[in-house]
Each structure stands twice: as C-alpha cells, then as structure tokens.
Amino acid sequence: CGTTSLLPMTPKKPQQWLQVVGHAGSFHVGDYGTLLKRFCEGEQQCYLRLMEDTLKPFVPAYHGVVQRDEQDYNMMDNLLTHFNTPAVMDCKMGSRTYLERELLLAKERPQPGNDMYEKMVAVDPEAPTVQERTQQAVLKTRYMQWRETLSSTTSLGFRIEGFRKSNEECHTNFKRTKSRDQVMAAFNNFVESNTHIVWGYLRRLKELRQVLEESVFFRTHEVVGSSLLFLHDWKGRTGVWMIDFGKTAALPAHLSLDHRTPWVEGNREDGYLWGLDNLIDILSNMLPL
Ligand code: ATP
Ligand code: MG
Ligand code: MG
C-alpha cells in the first residue's frame, strides 16, 4: 500500500476501537494502532496541513491513504490505543454545524419540504409558524437553523453528540441538551463526578486553546462539524483531541477567522473558540472553589 514506512514499528496486537457517534460503516480498525476512515479529499487535505501545523499534537497522526475492498481510506492513529477500556465522549464544536456553502445550496432549492416539517413537529409541535403549519412544510434553510437551536450549538457554541462510559453504558440522546446545567450534568455523569478527571480535561483544553489562538491552520479554515474527542480511563489518564475534518473548509486567501466573532452570513465565522471558552467555563464550575 506504500504507507508502511510511515507507521511506527510497534508490535501488532489486537486493537480496541469503539465508535461513539458518526456514520456507521465508515471505519475499519487498521494495523499497528491505526484507524481507517472512509476517504474524503477535504479531510485528507486538512490532515496533511495539520501534520505541518502547531496543532499536530492535538489531532490523531495521519498516515496517508490505503485501500480495502476497492474503497479508499484515510489512515490515522486510533486514539483509544493508549487507554485501558476508556470512557469516550464526542463534542461537536462551533455555533453552527453546516457550512455557509451548504446554506447557499439549500437556498437554491426554495421548495418547502413536508418531510422536514414532519420531523420538526415530531420534536416540537410548537416549532412551526402559522404559515408553515398551513403549508405543512418548511424551507430547508429554516429547518437547518431551527435544528441547531434545539441543542447547545447555537447558545453555547458546542454540543454533546454522545458518550460511552467504561462500563459500556452509552448515551447519545443529547439533541435537546441545551442549558449549561444540562451540559454540566451530562459531563458529571460522563466523568462519574471524578474531579481529578475534570482537572485533566481542563488542563488539556486550556493548552489547546492557546495553541488554537496561534495556529495558522485554524486561522485560515472554517472549522464546522469537527469534534473534540474526550478520553479517560480508570487509571486516571485523560486526553482530548480534535477529530473529524470532513466539513472543514479552507478560506480564500484574503480572509481569516478569529472563531469568536458571532456568525453573520458571509463572515464564515464558526464560533469554535467561543464554544471552547464556554466549555472550559462549564468544566471549571464543576470543580470545588
Ligand atoms: P459525523 O456524523 O460527525 O460527520 P463521521 O462519520 O465524520 O461523523 P467521525 O466524527 O470522524 O465520523 O468519527 C465518529 C466517531 O468515531 C467518533 O465519535 C469517535 O468515537 C470515533 N473516532 C473517530 N476518529 C477516531 C480516532 N482517530 N481514534 C479513535 N476514535 C475515533
Ligand atoms: Mg463527527
Ligand atoms: Mg464528519
């Protein structure tokens, strides 16, 4: 496959890997502690740039493209490798999880949809406007923006996608987890009230924030739909890494983002750092004074 020389020469042993959320069937466990994720060119470009950026210690190491059963995969480190039956949480960062490009595409199809209307009513019968009710349909753009206000994405700049505790207990129903108190309760459940673990996460998140503020990659990309993956185990080991760059888009040369300025259509801001500020604040409040 031509990538073998890039791999660290660690002995081959059976690898543990568990997917918390995301598209099922996109992943395979690779050899030597690696993970294969279904190929996406945009994501490959990001990983190649990230390997040359100050953010490198905060993303899984990237090992190139491999093929399996005629399908291409991006090969990266399996972050679970250095943990003992870890607890895993996926937090999707940013104040929106669709790209500006996706919004523009949705606008080109201004046909209100009944399927989206039905989904909206199923979650919240009060959500549709009088007009939407009459039409029994909503616009795609309206649906996209409404969906983000259900969780903490719009109000806090991140949302919990799901977590799995080391006892295999799985929680993925956070679509309506919105308030700081709800988020804090979910984190508290995830860490099982262990303040040592919270300390570990906070230290790492503060380091990440410093590096993000200086990173050239970060300044020059709209980072949407990307997650922070939280890992801890019973030995007290903790770690946080950035994953999922399938929707991360390079900006035109004249543009750069601070990731804190509120988004207005056209400015491309994603609220990533604002979300990280809020996340750090919430975790800080879980510690005794
Ligand atoms: P989405 O639906 O968010 O677009 P996706 O299909 O792009 O998801 P990812 O978000 O990259 O997939 O990953 C899904 C899950 O797989 C993560 O929540 C995590 O549990 C696991 N995962 C992904 N990358 C790694 C990694 N490098 N090491 C360990 N686990 C990983
Ligand atoms: Mg993801
Ligand atoms: Mg993705």
178: which residues sit within 8 A by CB, 6+ positions away?
150, 151, 152, 155, 156
Q: Tell me, in angstroms, the distance from the centre of ligand 2 to residue 93's CA.
A: 10
Ligand nearest to the CA of 242: 1
Banded model confidence at residue 17, pLDDT cuts 50, 70, 90: confident
34 CB within 6 A, ligand 1: no
- pLDDT the model gives residue 7: 42
Q: What is the pTM of this model?
A: 0.92
For the chain, the straight-line distance linking the first and the last C-alpha, in angstroms and rounded, comes to 54
- pLDDT the model gives residue 23: 80
127 CB within 6 A, ligand 1: no
Percent of the chain with pLDDT over 90: 81
- Answer yes or no: is the ipTM higher than 0.95: yes
Q: Is the pLDDT of residue 5 over 80?
A: no
Q: Which two tokens stand for residue 267?
A: 């400015």
Task: Locate the ligand 1 atom nearest the alpha carbon of residue 38 and give its number.
Answer: 6
Angle at alpha carbon of residue 155, lines to 149 and 160, rounded to 5°:
80
- pLDDT the model gives residue 82: 86
91-147: pLDDT as tens digits: 999 999 999 989 998 888 778 899 999 999 998 999 999 999 999 999 988 998 999
Q: Tell me, in angstroms, the distance from the centre of ligand 3 to residue 62's CA.
A: 16
